[in-house]
A and B are shown apart, each in its own frame.
Chain A
């Protein structure tokens, strides 16, 4: 009975787990036919969500999101879009559902998990990447619209094994605590430095009529980085890290490792 009501698109693992979790009284809704995209929702409803996944020893299942070939048509795709774009210098071909954001495409299809999903609504900046050199929010960008564009993520900033100066400066100035917002902060800062060089103004720029590069005061940096929220509150060190690269001089490292910890008291 269940064999025929469960959508054949489910993988063997998914089917097994679903059968473990479905109770008899749920036969009704399984009879409606399950789409793979509803699968996780049903799992949650059926019993304990992620905990159940782990109990059932099925945690590999969640890792299946990255398919062997990003250009294969994924199951459950409704409006298929095919495109090619350059990601960190490499041309990638993708086949995806028109609804997929650039953020999800990077994370789920290309296994580039540096850009983070903080809010998915444009409010936090954790998903910031560079598209054609401009900082944008990948959570509000449709992947489908990125045909022939060039995307740079945090993974693409280091060159031949050498950190980008902004990355190095974040390390040196301790510009983070948990690190969740950091890829977005760094991509944002890389673009900010270029914008200031190009003379782009901000709301706190005193005279809009003057041209030429903008000298970045802490106030300018704070305003220009306001689209990147850090819930750990690492802001002072983020500002210091950006300032150091902007001013091009090596400030003294603000922290050091404690050489020996003495707990004997």
Chain B
């Protein structure tokens, strides 16, 4: 437990990605099996020890502390696990159990034995160890680490490509003994054929503005505005994976149920509008945000996969074939197994670049994100190898908005006001419409920081309110209705495009202008 507690402590306080990677790397290379595997499982969300409910912690603490003092402490600290960890007398002889002992014992213990077990451990622990244990048993570490980042740390620490780890990941189980045997070089790579594991996606590069490709060599498709997924059905088991390799099957049971085939497909996950056409992204967003999904949601926002590519047909690995052959196999596959839950991505036939540019210019009106260009002779290679595939996204929307608040950044940027909240006019006042923290150069950051400091009207902790005088041109991918925001709108991927030192604030955009950019229920004819 001690090294794991130290790791969590370090992760909580280390703002930089590199710092977090280094901490995790040190943990994975120095802590023995099976503890490091359980630690990895805890970080990647694969360890559900959720054996203690908040009421149980309260009851445990109540036996050892005065209820008024506990309530005042909880009020001050604000986090139940931390309050218990800090207030616990902890006066037993120092003897923290190993992480694996905790996992094993909790796995075997009857529910009513859990409080006694926990209390025994807590007595022999430091405050930091108690915090780690209580976070673990109540679920939700919240130390700013995604599963992807933990796997990246593993890849870097053992000098192994991340894609190879992703590929075997879903075929392995905590405490990941086979994984570490392979990474340590004691065993060969685990064989996951016959399992519906995640296969690394082949990724596309943005097409530079002035590049003209030889269209004859490329297959052109629409870039749909959903999320990229992999639908795997192997040996009767089915999984839906997001681009980061997360298993999102539980959120989309409608898609998973309909995958009555043997194979692995790459496609776009979309939901249908009432007219049957793909709905705008925020309709999909409604479903992405939940872990499980109710009947009503399934009916209102039915999901489907628009298939781009095929990786496996039955047990046959097609990834080494050229795209043109895979396309033939895909068309055949969807013809055999397709449904309203599984459709084929249509090809766009163009022979002139100008024609393509005109199609791209029309994508926003169609609710499409842009175009994909893929070399017909390309094998399916995981990762982002430059060359074979390009994405040519639609131009972003832009608006002129007024800077309202600035907040200190993190890590290297902590001495700068680098996170900006901006607003648009509604009647005579500004309403916040978004937040951006990139898009500017280092020099512009220094200028903005100086401007914020010289135009502060109010301070709230790390946030400064500023004179409503500076206009920013922001670019964003799209804008959607959002009842959660005061302005009623939310931007996707906003970034600062230009600082309009020249433009008077009263000439910035009005909220109505932004509302007009919201897509109508997309209809694609």
Are these two chains actual partners, yes or no?
no
